[in-house]
Amino acid sequence: MTITFTLNGKKVEVSVEDDANLLWTLRERLNLTGTKFGCGVSLCGTCTVHLDGKPIKSCITPLAAVEGKKVTTIEGLSENRSHPLQVAWIEQQVPQCGYCHSGQIMQAAALLQENPSPNREEIIKHMNGVLCRCGTYLRILKAIEKTIQKA
């Protein structure tokens, strides 16, 4: 099947098997490897991207579900890591292994798009479900709060 959608602001068309999912299409067909594979069953959030501005788990999203829609990956937030969340992530020294952070940043970006000044409880609730095996949750929280303060 052939699917057409907007990816990081550019229209793309990709021919894939009927059972293709978004994560592996992004990584293997479109060479966008910033979106990571974590669990494959929507439990960890490492593969989070935006579909029409809303965070989704790309590992369980059939590619057919993005037909005619807008997909944004971590590469689409900024070409040079200048997105305010990316800057805050670096300033707050959030990553240890760094594996989950594209999903963390994409989840946080969706929150701030919807609610530019969430309180701490709202941040924690929204970020729940994006797991960090290194346990940098307090740094993640600080980076999001710093981004809000600078806005």
Per residue in 8-43, pLDDT (tens digit) is 999 999 999 999 999 999 999 999 999 999 999 999
Degrees to nearest 5, angle at CA 102 with 80 and 123: 110
Tens of pLDDT, residue by residue over 49-74, are: 999 999 999 999 999 999 999 999 99
Is the sign of the CA dihedral 45, 62, 34, 122 positive or negative? negative
Alpha-carbon gap, residue 76 to 61, rounded angstroms = 18
The pTM assigned to this predicted structure is 0.95
Cβ contact 30:12 at 8 Å: yes
